[in-house]
Amino acid sequence: MNTPSPRKGATRTADIPADVLHALSCGEMQSATLAESLALDQARLLRTVFPDLPGHALQAADAACQLGILKRMAAIGNILLDTLGSAGLATCQTHPADTVRGWACFMIGAQPDQPLAERLAAIQPLADDNHFGVREWAWMAIRPHLAVQLEAAIALLTNWTSSPSERLRRFACEALRPRGVWCAHLPPFKQQPERALPILQPLRADPSVYVQDSVANWLNDAGKDQPAWVADLCDQWLQGQPTTATQRICQRALRNLK
């Protein structure tokens, strides 16, 4: 395997060296930036990982590769689940390429009639993945299920706020952002953000900057619809002797309200 030498990941597609793009598209290395994950050839990667896929699946995947990135990932996840089932999921979950593990996220998201607790348990290892991209695909893949079972989602994800893993604590918050990124908004939280307090309160002094940023972004989202509520909540959190973490969260949460 002619793997490129260690590099600083490109932040623009035009800056990605041809040998790096080839290695990414063949599953020989992980992406180092969002630009790299967007630029790799998923059709080629699919053929490398699953050389025996039937023609109809390949044709459907080729069509999916003309879509935007989120629809592309979801479509390929659906194709793999329909064609290969649990065996394909097992391969994707443990593959060294981050995009392939991302497909696994969407395969879990596409599982039919799966109880939410089981779906969250299935996604947990990917939500705790060591690659930033996989962690993002994990919450995007199951957010539609969280949205339609919001009370159950809050109850289940509240347990994640006490996880030793900062990645899982962040997931609990990030997956339910009112506005989110690359995903549909959650109108109930735009109207009644207080419903998310069981998740937000335990994280208000989280020592991880990774988690702090998510909590601050959650509140910043909410502030676009309910600015007075966000301001009042931050005032409450800042009473007494707030931790440095709480101060940072509130400063970032209020950045567009001042």
Token pair listed for 154: 């809050």
Q: Tell me the pTM.
A: 0.92
> Which tens digit of pLDDT belongs to each residue from 146-193?
999 999 999 999 999 999 999 999 999 999 999 978 889 999 999 999
Tell me the one-letter amino acid at 54: P
Domains and CATH numbers, the chain: 149-258 (1.25.40.290)
> Which tens digit of pLDDT belongs to each residue from 196-217?
999 999 999 999 999 999 999 9
Token pair listed for 96: 């060294």
DSSP secondary structure, the chain, as one string = --PPPP-PPPSSGGGS-HHHHHHHHTTSS--SSHHHHHHS-HHHHHHHH-TT--HHHHHHHHHHTTS-HHHHHHHHHHHHHHHHHHHHHHHHHT-SSHHHHHHHHHHHHH-TT--HHHHHHHHHHHHT-SSHHHHHHHHHHHHHHHHHTHHHHHHHHHHHTT-S-HHHHHHHHHTT-SS-SSS---HHHHH-GGGGHHHHGGGTT-S-HHHHHHHHHHHHHHHTT-HHHHHHHHHHHTSSS--HHHHHHHHHHTTTT-
pLDDT band for position 4 (cuts 50, 70, 90): very low
Token pair listed for 184: 């549909």
> Which tens digit of pLDDT belongs to each residue from 57-103?
999 999 999 999 999 999 999 999 999 999 999 999 999 999 999 99
